[in-house]
Structures are given as C-alpha cells and as structure tokens.
Amino acid sequence: METKPVVSDVKVELVGGTKGPVALDDDMNIVLLIKNKDTQSIKVTATNNEEVSTKTYNLSGLNLET
C-alpha cells in the first residue's frame, strides 16, 4: 500500500515580492502577484515534525498573460 507523506506545515514565499511567507491551507492553493519573472522566484518550505525542506523555483521560463 502506498502512503503519502504527512506534511504539517507548508509556507510559500514570492522572493522579491512585497509580502513574506504565506502558510497554505488544506486546499494547498495560493495566488501570487508576479511582477518580474526574471528577478522573482518562488520559495516553498515544508516542515514535518522537526525536519524542514526548502526548494526555490525559478520563474524565467514562465509565460505570463494579461
């Protein structure tokens, strides 16, 4: 039987944005205002008990539409 890892806390931050990290709800959805895909990035921090995992995503390949 395959089980999903349990993550107690997930925070997302738009690096180069105007606000700090945002804790995600159970739906795990977030809306971010990206002003410059070449200078901003998205940092995700997941905490499970005392183990912390952080990953930063580059937005340079992102296509933005208005």
Phi, psi of 12 (to 5 degrees): -125, 135
Residue spans of the domains in the chain: they are 9-58
Residues 6+ apart with CB under 8 A from 46: 7, 9, 10, 52, 53, 54
Is residue 24 pLDDT above 70, yes or no?
yes
What is the distance between the terminal CA atoms of the chain, rounded to a whole angstrom? 44
d(CA 33, CA 17): 8
Identify the residue whose tokens are 């912390």.
52
pLDDT at 10: 94
Amino acid found at 58: N
Is residue 50 pLDDT above 90, yes or no?
no
pTM of the model as a whole: 0.77
Is residue 64 pLDDT above 70, yes or no?
no
